[in-house]
Amino acid sequence: MSAAAPSPAAGAAPDAAPGREAVASAYQHFEPRAYLRNNYAPPRGDLSSPDGVGPWKLRCLAQTFATGVARESQRGSVPLPRPVSARSSQDSDPGEVSGRTLMDIGSGPTIYQLLSACTHFEDITMTDFLEVNRQELGLWLREEPGAFDWSMYSQHVCLIEGKGESWREKERQLRARVKRVLHIDVHQPQPLGAGNLAPLPVDALVSAFCLEAVSPDLPSFQRALDHITTLLRPGGHLLLIGALEESWYLAGEARLVVVPMCKEEVMEALVRSGYEVRDLRTYIMPACLQTGVDDVKGIFFAWAQKKEGV
């Protein structure tokens, strides 16, 4: 998106071609490494404080995949499972959010959102609109020189999961279970296009900081959510992470516009797309993590289940 994106023509749908073209044009200037430095290196990438945004996201994901139930404590954290060091690293309780196939919608250049998922799903599809992001993912998946170092995130996930697994084992498992990295356009009724290679419908969807960041407005966000929901089987689960009350962010030379959303609007959108919202919680971005790379006020995490017949 661009701050200079044209308004839709009178009578046109809010996410009509000009709006979508403005989004696509702005993202041609997206710099994956700048985005990673801004959000996944210190200070935001500092995982040493349990109150940081990184540990909060990883806890939300780990607990939901492990048990299907994750409730916040008063200070906003999620209760952790009791470590069981004698259990094999390849063993896992299936939990409610489990199956064979999982798709990550709008992966960007990041893999942290799948570190807990890979224990519970054997066939994972990653997707992104931008070739530069798919290339960045490929560097890490192929263990090529110059790939972004996610080892601190992998170590942290192993710590909070408490199964005695090493971070190297965790990363090997994720690399083995990502079967494909595909192009996606969430603004199309068939987001993956015709003749795609993904096994559809999938058992679960994950999406982090995608839909609100590529939609010109709230109606467009709703349609994008509707589109990706077609990729999910009835009864399947969606884990959605996104920004609250954010209007822009930086990724190198790109200054990208975001649809500002509140918790209630996220809830309403999920219900309209045919989900039962199982859990929805928020994180307030502390002043020490407001670094000038965006104007985000907080983060939401939603666990929703697609209703039968949708």
Q: CA–CA separation, 191 vs 201, rounded Å?
A: 13
Structure tokens at 20: 């979508």
Q: CA–CA separation, 23 vs 4, rounded Å?
A: 10
| Residues paired with 279 in a beta bridge | 303
Q: CA–CA separation, 266 vs 302, rounded Å?
A: 8
The amino acid that residue 157 corresponds to is V
Whether 34 and 252 have beta carbons less than 8 Å apart is answered as yes
Residue 293: burial class (beta carbons within 10 Å; 0-12, 13-18, 19+): middle
H/E run at residue 222? helix 218-229
CA 240-122-192 angle, to 5 degrees, is 55
Using CA of residue 172, residue 177, residue 182, residue 184, what is the dihedral sign? negative
Annotated binding site for S-adenosyl-L-methionine: 35, 40, 106-107, 112, 128, 133, 185-186
Annotated binding site: 35, 40, 106-107, 112, 128, 133, 185-186
Q: What is the DSSP letter of 117?
A: G
Collect all residues with Cβ–Cβ distance below 8 Å to 283 and sequence separation of at least 6: 53, 56, 57, 76, 298, 299, 300, 301
Neighbours of 269 (CB within 10 A): 24
CA nearest neighbour of 265 among 236, 290, 294, 243:
243
